């Protein structure tokens, strides 16, 4: 890890941990929870789609699966309230991730655009299942998760905040680790030229599946925490295309394929999104506003903030260098 990287991580962690104590009003911590949630979703999306080049549009399906898994487990196994659900998170994450592998294997046999559509179809499938499997999910009536009564009124959001922060850190570590490992090398090779990679003997399917597993693992955990946070989930809210599109947008905004890009994207867009919801939510203009932001980001900054910044810095350095050269030669 470079010294800069370590510095960035430390600063981020410090701010992250201090935030709910410095800015204690509940609504602020709430925005913090949502920001961290989207940051984790965007980062794990980047882990798969940014590195393999396969755009998945079904991420929120696993978000919903994580949410429902936690809620249903609560119903049938009574995990108890308080902090217990947080201990179950890795199990939920791993469970959903393993369950998703067969479908992923089928989907990964298709090429890029078809893959995007198939994953999008997954989204609709899971939503439909949530509606239809009444006996398990209570369909459109929704599922209740017991409210944690031990969290205290003033600091109720804090445990959820730190849970999301923890998951985000896991996601960032996974991203960072993947990039530095052979797995990362394989994934990038796959992204550049999959056929050539196969021809060289690289185990393409396995690499893709591992990246997939990791991203679902994180996503499902985020969904589970979200379910516990809201204490009430139903199909449209658990598998919401807007959540998926939001995570993708934030990744694009911040810069695909970079480590901190998705986090930055979330830091910019979530507060903006909440602001729009507050002022425009009732009138459905929220959708129009959202789509406008979306379009502007995609058309104006297709590469994202971080890569554009980096290019800008490089260009300024170049310009300064040539100016210095001109100055010395004239």
Partner 1 sequence: MHGVVQAIILGVLIGGVYALMASGLTLVFGIMRVINVAQGALVILAAYLSYALFSHAHVDPFLSVLVVTPAMFVLGVLVQIVFVRSLRGSDSEELSLLVTWALALGIEGVLSVIFKTTYRATSPSYADKTLTVFGYQFGFVRLMAFILSGVLLLLLSLLLTRTRFGRAVRATVQNPTAATLLGVDANRVQTLSFGLGVSMAAAAGAVYGVIYPFNPGSHYDLISRLLSIVVLGGLGSLGGAVVAALVMGVTEAVVAVEWQPTWASFSYFIVLIAVLLVRPQGIFGVRERAL
Partner 2 sequence: MSALLEVEGLTKRFGGVTAVNACSFAVPEGSVTALVGPNGSGKTTAFNLITGYARADAGVVRFAGATVRRPDPVRLSRTGLTRTFQQARIFADLTLVENMVAALQQPWRSAFRTAVRGHEKARALELLEEFGLTRLARERAGNLSYGQKKLLEFAAVLMGEPRLVLLDEPTAGVNPVLVEQIEERIRELNARGLTFLVVEHNMNLVMRLCNPVVVLAQGTKLAEGHPDEVRNDSRVLDAYLGG
Q: Which residues of the chain form contacts with partner 2 (CB under 8 A)?
A: 177, 179-186, 188-189, 191-193, 195-204, 206-207, 210
Cα–Cα distance between 50 and 44 in angstroms, integer? 9
Answer for which of 34, 40, 47, 55 binds partner 1 (CB under 8 A) is 55
**Which option in partner 1, partner 2, none does residue 185 bind, with CB closer than 5 to 8 A by kind?**
partner 2
Minimum distance of partner 1 from residue 49's CB (angstroms): 9
283 binds partner 1 (CB under 8 A): yes
Question: How many residues are given for the chain?
Answer: 330
2 binds partner 1 (CB under 8 A): no
38 binds partner 1 (CB under 8 A): no
Cα dist from 115 to 144, 257, 330, whole Å: 34, 19, 57
| Pick 180 or 320: Cβ nearer partner 2 | 180
150 binds partner 1 (CB under 8 A): no
Phi, psi of 254 (to 5 degrees): -75, -30
CA 247 vs. chain centroid, Å, equals: 6
| Pick 72 or 293: Cβ nearer partner 1 | 293
Answer for which of 19, 131, 156, 176 binds partner 1 (CB under 8 A) is 131
- Given a contact cutoff of 8 angstroms between Cβ atoms, the answer to whether 70 and 93 are in contact is no
Cα–Cα distance between 169 and 40 in angstroms, integer? 8
**Which option in partner 2, partner 1, none does residue 128 bind, with CB closer than 5 to 8 A by kind?**
partner 1
Cα dist from 2 to 180, 214, 248, whole Å: 12, 24, 28
Minimum distance of partner 1 from residue 297's CB (angstroms): 9
Minimum distance of partner 2 from residue 184's CB (angstroms): 6
Q: Which of residues 83-122 bind partner 1 (CB under 8 A)?
A: 103, 106-107, 109-114, 116-118, 120-121
CA angle 299, 240, 28 (to 5 degrees): 80
Alpha helices in 108-156 (DSSP H): 112-132, 134-137
Cα–Cα distance between 89 and 69 in angstroms, integer? 10
| Pick 192 or 311: Cβ nearer partner 2 | 192
Stretch that binds partner 1, among 147-155, 227-235, 263-271, 282-290 (CB under 8 A): 282-290
Stretch that binds partner 1, among 40-48, 227-235, 238-246, 270-278 (CB under 8 A): 238-246
- Given a contact cutoff of 8 angstroms between Cβ atoms, the answer to whether 228 and 68 are in contact is no
Minimum distance of partner 1 from residue 311's CB (angstroms): 14
Cα dist from 197 to 93, 128, 193, 210, whole Å: 30, 37, 6, 16
| Pick 182 or 321: Cβ nearer partner 2 | 182
Cα–Cα distance between 190 and 205 in angstroms, integer? 10
285 binds partner 1 (CB under 8 A): yes
Cα–Cα distance between 311 and 115 in angstroms, integer? 31
Which positions ≥6 away from 284 have C-beta within 8 Å? none
| Pick 154 or 192: Cβ nearer partner 1 | 192
| Residues making contact with partner 1 (CB under 8 A) | 55, 57, 103, 106-107, 109-114, 116-118, 120-121, 124-125, 128-129, 131-132, 195, 241-242, 245, 248-249, 252, 283-292, 294-295, 298-299, 302
């Amino acid at each position: 890890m470079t010294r800069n990287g370590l510095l960035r991580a430390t600063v981020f962690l410090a701010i992250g941990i201090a935030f709910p104590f410095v800015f204690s009003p509940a609504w602020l911590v709430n925005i913090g929870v949502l920001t961290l949630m989207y940051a984790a979703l965007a980062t794990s999306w980047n882990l798969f789609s940014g590195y393999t080049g396969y755009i998945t549009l079904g991420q929120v399906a696993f978000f919903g699966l994580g949410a429902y898994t936690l809620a249903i487990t609560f119903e049938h196994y009574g995990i108890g309230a308080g902090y217990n659900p947080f201990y179950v998170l890795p199990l939920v994450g791993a469970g959903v991730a393993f369950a998703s592998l067969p479908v992923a294997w089928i989907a990964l046999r298709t090429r890029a655009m078809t893959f995007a559509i198939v994953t999008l179809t997954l989204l609709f499938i899971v939503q439909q299942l949530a509606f239809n499997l009444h006996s398990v999910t209570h369909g459109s009536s929704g599922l209740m998760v017991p409210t944690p009564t031990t969290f205290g009124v003033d600091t109720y959001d804090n445990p959820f905040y730190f849970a999301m922060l923890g998951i985000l850190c896991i996601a960032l570590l996974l991203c960072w680790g993947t990039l530095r490992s052979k797995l990362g090398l394989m994934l990038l090779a796959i992204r550049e030229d999959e056929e050539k990679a196969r021809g060289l003997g690289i185990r393409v399917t396995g690499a893709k599946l591992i990246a997939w597993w990791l991203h679902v693992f994180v996503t499902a955990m985020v969904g589970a925490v979200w379910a516990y946070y809201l204490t009430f989930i139903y199909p449209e809210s658990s598998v919401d295309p807007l959540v998926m599109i939001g995570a993708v947008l934030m990744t694009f905004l911040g810069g695909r394929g970079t480590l901190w890009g998705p986090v930055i994207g979330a830091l910019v867009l979530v507060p903006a999104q909440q602001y729009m919801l507050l002022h425009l939510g009732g009138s459905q203009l929220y959708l129009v506003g959202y789509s406008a932001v979306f379009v502007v980001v995609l058309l104006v900054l297709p590469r994202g903030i971080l890569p554009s910044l980096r290019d800008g810095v490089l260009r300024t350095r170049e310009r300064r260098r040539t100016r210095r050269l001109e100055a010395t030669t004239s």
